[in-house]
Chain A
């Protein structure tokens, strides 16, 4: 069932594992993706002692960009973080593989969310200060 997640995770050398610590704050570390089991959806993890009380909802994020902060890739696996026989384990609960039309989905969803955000507040679509953007672009190139 988790073979598709394993296929995507293995495209990345490591993943960002995020759990919630004993104080209720998110806590992230990088973990190797190679031990991920495509049959069970489980990933054994070694955590530093600085994390305590981390059992509960968790996620794995793999992302990458190039030297120009472009060619962005991103996948997420949602799951549960728990202790089994004294060892930490991430157990997958959901994974949606990225669509080939991910950028179109991204744009469509963003436009829809923006309409909703403005609509709920009774606001018209505001004008962007494009002169300001052009000025920023000139200074960024300088």
Chain B
């Protein structure tokens, strides 16, 4: 039961708290919207206007993602999932959000969940925040997955089998 409950959380929560490690080793945490892929990796993106995540990953690939914010997910008894893993952030700049099937699916999901983001493609939005759709791709390969059936983080989490955490279909 736990893998499917964890997958529902990963798929339904709008954001996760994504952490990279700065040059001095301190964690830097920011909400992001990732997508779990069929091969078990996660895809997320960042604008070239917010490149620090990518810089940190190129220096130290160790990252984590905590799925713990259930607002809007429709899940009535929310739990939490922590992914620890290794990330890559190539220097390739992407400006066509449909150039890759996984990226396209991620942007469709975010756009559907955040209708107000349409502002960034209006005449004014394009001029104001022109880097918004100029993006870097970040892939995370999980090495450890912990699951809390409730959001009681003082209770011991359940460690899930990595092979069970991937998108189906």
Interface residues, chain A, with chain B CB atoms under 8 Å away = 16, 18-21, 24-31, 46-50, 56-59, 61, 63-70, 72, 74, 76, 78, 107, 109-111, 113-114, 117-118, 121, 123, 125-130, 132-137, 139-141
Known contacts A68-B72, A132-B96; A16 and B29 CB within 8 A of each other: yes
- Interface secondary structure of A, over-half rule: mixed
Show 26 A/B contacts (Cβ-Cβ < 8 Å), sorted by A: A16-B29, A26-B29, A30-B68, A30-B153, A31-B153, A47-B154, A48-B157, A49-B156, A56-B25, A61-B31, A68-B116, A69-B72, A69-B117, A70-B114, A110-B129, A113-B131, A114-B134, A117-B49, A126-B134, A127-B95, A128-B95, A129-B96, A129-B99, A134-B121, A136-B111, A141-B112
Q: How many A-B residue pairs have CB under 8 A?
A: 188
Given A30-B68, A59-B27, A114-B134, are A139 and B108 also a contact pair (CB < 8 Å)?
yes
Complex: how many Å from CA A16 to CA B80? 12
Q: Which 10 A-B pairs have the closest CB atoms?
A: A110-B49, A57-B26, A114-B131, A26-B19, A69-B114, A140-B112, A26-B64, A28-B66, A140-B111, A129-B96
